[in-house]
Chains A and B, each alone.
Chain A
Amino acid sequence: MNSYALIPFLPLAAFVINILFGRKYLKENAHWVSILAVAGSWVLAVMALVDVLGGNTINFDLYTWMLSGGFKVSVGFLIDQLTVVMLIVVTTCSTLIHIYSVGYMHGDSGYYRFFAYLSLFTFSMLMLVMANNFLQLYFGWEGVGLCSYFLIGYYFNKKSASDAGKKAFIVNRFGDFGFGLGIFVVFLTFGTVYYEPVFSQAGGLAEATFNFLGYDVHLMTLIALLLFCGSVGKSAQIPLHVWLPDAMEGPTPVSALIHAATMVTAGVFLVARCSPIFSLSETALMVVALTGAITSLFAATIGLVQNDLKRIIAYSTVSQLGYMFLACGVGAYTAGIFHLYTHAFFKALLFLCAGSVMHAMGGELDIQKMGNLKKYMPVTYMTMLIASFSISGIPGLAGFFSKDEILWMAYAGESPVGKFVWAIGTLVAFLTAFYSFRLIFLTFHGKFRGTHDQEHHLHESPKSMTIPLMLLCVGAVAAGWVGIPALIGEKIGVHNYIAEFMKPVLGHPEGHGTHAEEMVVMLISIAVGLAGIGLAYFMYILRPELPARLAQQLSAVYRVLFNKYYVDELYSFIIVRPAIWIAKNVLIGITDARIIEAVVNGVPSAIAAFSSGLRKIQTGLMQHYATIMATGILIIVAIMLLR
């Protein structure tokens, strides 16, 4: 057996051990099992990386899952360039966040349960990225969704948390419905769900159409859009973005691992994995690009005015995911995956810093009640500052390279909407820098605005939390150095390694532009980043009374943004309330009371009535039985005689 099969199964083993023995035996030691397992996966993932760098692509079936006529599905693993990048992202973030959780979750009553779920999540996520067929991908996809539900609702005795878990699960149903249909269409078209034959045959069917209700639908567009439905749900794009901000009810390490670094990027991974299909449909690519661009702008504007520490970062995640889709939509899958990879580090770091702040503030999340924390928490401050510089696209840090790559590809690529999404992307870069530094300035600078008790309690977090912060910080700084664009790389003698590495899987479209243009695009993106930081500095450090005045003057705009464009209210009005009305009046009132209960209660009561009649002849008196027998004999004889 190939030892790479152990990559997902080590965390699965940890899950089984923790869930079976955690409550009684492991208790406060539960983290050892999970951390060792996921660290083992990390080591194997690094070995896989070395293997793939050496030019090997690994594709093997471990076990036949289903075999029915011509339909065959296996538990099988495909480790190519794309998978290996995801493996590194997932196992690295997962390992560091596991370690961080030791400090963060210390003393929690569900300690073993938390680690068991984290391990199960890691297993599902690894199954997702390592699948060599669509059905196993779907298995992992639903597995991570389930773990996300478990972990959002981890504090299940808190109503808002259990509601948020349900919301995440139900909203994802909408997307997964489309994804499931997409897999059906893939099977109908290609007769298999394995990636390899599907992608190699896709080119031959580029012009094929599919008759649906009398309309000829372009087959590849149909498949791509159905698969993209799943991505929209999982990666929280418009219109299914509503679950991700609420998902912040979960413990912070969960927000960092699942709702920033790994699970939510599964949608981007799916689009990149299916790039041979997406590339055949211009319509689908345009939809992807526009969805990404609009989502990133939409979420960034909401992020400007929120006051909840974690929600700001959540909107920032939605916005950055939009960026990745934007990249995929203009055909620059490599740039999208590159941004996924750098984003995982700096966004996980931002969340973990937020967790560290929460830890010090005793669970307080309102940034209006913080301030001047840099004095008490230097490590958290420094790491969060670097992460914010990274996300704002300050040259040299990870976020700069990936964001710049995306913007350049959007500007210079072949996509018909390229220029438009480039403009939105640049605007979003400005907004991102602004809200990231609004967060930094309100939290760490100025005067402390909380209660006296809280101020007294302020402290730096324990080592198990700060060390992962520092390690992720290294990632947030250096992760981008593998993708230095040729424009700069030529001068300092390095290549754009990641683009060359990913080329066999994702291709590498060249931008159609001059060096001068590329330089201008880059300078603009740097300039808007700095402008955003500068504006935040002006508004929150130099003139702290300005934001309130601005909010008053633009109160209509402010209210709309503060209430997240009323999307939740809209959904509540058009979906949730009608659904509850139907449930109450039709399902409970008619189906349940009149139909199901009538059958369920009617059958036993009919049997009871019949048996109570029958019971009367069972008297226990010998004579009665003999009488009945004699009567029976009499009747039989009479029938025989009179026949």
Chain B
Amino acid sequence: MVPLHWYLTLSAAVFMIGMFGFLTRRNIIIMFMSVELMLNAVNISLVSFSHYLQDMRGHILVFFVITVAAAEAAIGLAIIISLFRNKQTAHVDEMNEMKG
């Protein structure tokens, strides 16, 4: 039997990787992937608590998250592609037209 805190440690580790990836990398694709990592880290902790508490509500929430993430990935990738077509780059520092 794998104890709960192993799952939680995994979840935290994945979340941290996602968060620092998002904050430190400049390539928009990688940042996008980091966001997905954070979402999935949350999913891991949700399912592990759900299993630990023998409660299905955690699983249901995870499905919602996966659904939203899938939609978000589709829209996000579409935006990135159109950005890339305009700018010929995937580097966020060069996308500063909106900067005040």
* Shortest Cβ gap from A501 to chain B (Å): 92
Is A634 among interface residues, defined by CB-CB distance under 8 A? Answer: yes
Is B90 among interface residues, defined by CB-CB distance under 8 A? Answer: no
Is A626 among interface residues, defined by CB-CB distance under 8 A? Answer: yes
Q: When the two chains form their complex, are residues A623 and B24 in contact, meaning their CB atoms are under 8 A apart? A: yes
Is A62 among interface residues, defined by CB-CB distance under 8 A? Answer: no
Is A627 among interface residues, defined by CB-CB distance under 8 A? Answer: yes
Q: Report B-chain residues with C-beta under 8 Å of the C-beta of A626.
A: 23
Give A626 to B16 CA distance when docked, in angstroms.
13
Is A582 among interface residues, defined by CB-CB distance under 8 A? Answer: no
Give A626 to B22 CA distance when docked, in angstroms.
10
Within 8 A of A (CB), among B22-78: 23-24
Contact with A along B1-36 (1 / 0, CB 8 A): 000000000000000100110011000000000000
Nearest opposing residue in chain A for B19, CB measure: A630
> In the complex, which of the residues B16, B20, B23 has the most CB atoms of chain A within 10 Å of its own CB atom?
B23
Nearest opposing residue in chain B for A623, CB measure: B23
Q: Report A-chain residues with C-beta under 8 Å of the C-beta of B23.
A: 623, 626-627, 630
Do most interface residues of chain A lie in helix, strand or loop, or is the interface mixed? helix
Q: When the two chains form their complex, are residues A627 and B24 in contact, meaning their CB atoms are under 8 A apart? A: yes
Contact with B along A306-317 (1 / 0, CB 8 A): 000000000000
Nearest opposing residue in chain A for B93, CB measure: A621
Nearest opposing residue in chain A for B9, CB measure: A641
Q: Report A-chain residues with C-beta under 8 Å of the C-beta of B16.
A: 634
Contact with B along A621-637 (1 / 0, CB 8 A): 00100110010001000
Give A626 to B23 CA distance when docked, in angstroms.
7
Nearest opposing residue in chain B for A624, CB measure: B23
* Shortest Cβ gap from A76 to chain B (Å): 72
* Shortest Cβ gap from A428 to chain B (Å): 94
Within 8 A of B (CB), among A607-631: 623, 626-627, 630
Q: Report A-chain residues with C-beta under 8 Å of the C-beta of B20.
A: 627, 630
Give A631 to B16 CA distance when docked, in angstroms.
9
* Shortest Cβ gap from B49 to chain A (Å): 17
Give A77 to B23 CA distance when docked, in angstroms.
82
Q: Report B-chain residues with C-beta under 8 Å of the C-beta of A634.
A: 16
* Shortest Cβ gap from B61 to chain A (Å): 23
Give A630 to B34 CA distance when docked, in angstroms.
15
Give A623 to B16 CA distance when docked, in angstroms.
15
Give A627 to B20 CA distance when docked, in angstroms.
7
Nearest opposing residue in chain A for B24, CB measure: A627
Q: Report A-chain residues with C-beta under 8 Å of the C-beta of B19.
A: 630
Within 8 A of B (CB), among A567-625: 623
Give A615 to B19 CA distance when docked, in angstroms.
25
Give A626 to B21 CA distance when docked, in angstroms.
12
Give A627 to B22 CA distance when docked, in angstroms.
9
* Shortest Cβ gap from B22 to chain A (Å): 9
* Shortest Cβ gap from A635 to chain B (Å): 12
* Shortest Cβ gap from A641 to chain B (Å): 9
* Shortest Cβ gap from A623 to chain B (Å): 5
Give A595 to B16 CA distance when docked, in angstroms.
52
Nearest opposing residue in chain B for A638, CB measure: B12
Give A634 to B16 CA distance when docked, in angstroms.
8
> In the complex, which of the residues A623, A626, A627, A634 has the most CB atoms of chain B within 10 Å of its own CB atom?
A623
Give A70 to B28 CA distance when docked, in angstroms.
83
* Shortest Cβ gap from A626 to chain B (Å): 5
Nearest opposing residue in chain B for A622, CB measure: B23
Give A397 to B16 CA distance when docked, in angstroms.
111
Give A629 to B24 CA distance when docked, in angstroms.
13
Give A623 to B26 CA distance when docked, in angstroms.
10
Contact with B along A500-513 (1 / 0, CB 8 A): 00000000000000
Give A627 to B19 CA distance when docked, in angstroms.
9
Give A634 to B17 CA distance when docked, in angstroms.
12
* Shortest Cβ gap from B23 to chain A (Å): 4
* Shortest Cβ gap from B3 to chain A (Å): 15
Give A362 to B20 CA distance when docked, in angstroms.
91
Q: Report B-chain residues with C-beta under 8 Å of the C-beta of A623.
A: 23-24
Nearest opposing residue in chain B for A633, CB measure: B19
Nearest opposing residue in chain B for A631, CB measure: B20
* Shortest Cβ gap from A634 to chain B (Å): 7
Give A626 to B19 CA distance when docked, in angstroms.
10
Give A623 to B19 CA distance when docked, in angstroms.
11
* Shortest Cβ gap from A272 to chain B (Å): 85
* Shortest Cβ gap from A583 to chain B (Å): 61
Give A630 to B24 CA distance when docked, in angstroms.
11
Give A626 to B25 CA distance when docked, in angstroms.
13
* Shortest Cβ gap from A640 to chain B (Å): 13
Within 8 A of B (CB), among A86-141: none
Give A626 to B31 CA distance when docked, in angstroms.
14
When A and B form their complex, which 4 residue pairs have the shortest distance between CB atoms, in order from nearest?
Answer: A627-B23, A623-B23, A626-B23, A630-B19
- Taking Cβ atoms with an 8 Å cutoff, the residues of B that contact A are 16, 19-20, 23-24
Q: What would be 10 A-B contacts, judged by CB atoms less than 8 Å apart?
A: A623-B23, A623-B24, A626-B23, A627-B20, A627-B23, A627-B24, A630-B19, A630-B20, A630-B23, A634-B16
Other CB < 8 Å A-B pairs besides A623-B23, A634-B16, 8 of them? A623-B24, A626-B23, A627-B20, A627-B23, A627-B24, A630-B19, A630-B20, A630-B23
